[in-house]
Amino acid sequence: MKVIRKSIFETNSSSSHSLSLGTLSSLPDQNVNDLEITLGDGEYGWDWTDYDSWLDKADYITIDAREDQEKLDLIEKVIKLVYPNATIKFRDSGYIDHDSRGTFWNSYKTTEDVKIFIFGNGGFSTGNDNDEPHDMMY
């Protein structure tokens, strides 16, 4: 028997990424001089990992925005709101598993969204459906 389903998104990817947009209660120390930030070189595949540092979150959405200069400019603008003297370099060597690309930008688009995601108390998790998450996951 052959089953055909229409208008249903399906993927055979076994990886899954989940993002949470938290709240912005306080910002990092802004009295940092000569801060050099490199974004776009992380690897986010199917390992079970929780990420909550602002650098990891900024790196993830940078890779997700790699081909969109407007989004990269927005990320830089948000970081410079907190670190106005920062030098930000974007690299093109990072990786997000193929079916998790677009996870952030499909839902969040404004300066405030980006600011809350990067500097807020939320984060993101990576994983897969081939094995169980570690005990500290979730």
Q: Is residue 84 part of a domain?
A: yes
How far apart CA 38 and CA 3 sit, in angstroms, is 48
Whether residue 57 has pLDDT greater than 90? yes
Q: Is residue 52 part of a domain?
A: yes
99 by DSSP, 3-state: which? helix
Work out the percent of the chain whose per-residue pLDDT is above 70. Answer: 68
Considering only the C-alpha atoms of the chain, give the largest distance between any 2 of them, rounded to a whole number of Å.
Answer: 66
pLDDT tens digits for 81-94? Answer: 989 889 999 999 99
Q: Report pTM.
A: 0.79
- What value does the mean pLDDT of the chain take? 79
Containing domain of residue 69, as a range? 33-128
Question: Following DSSP, what letter does each residue of 20-81 receive, concatenated?
Answer: E-------------S-EEEES--EE-SS-EEE-SHHHHHHHHHHHTTT-HHHHHHHHHHHHH
Q: Is residue 18 part of a domain?
A: no
Whether residue 41 has pLDDT greater than 90? yes
Q: Is residue 59 part of a domain?
A: yes
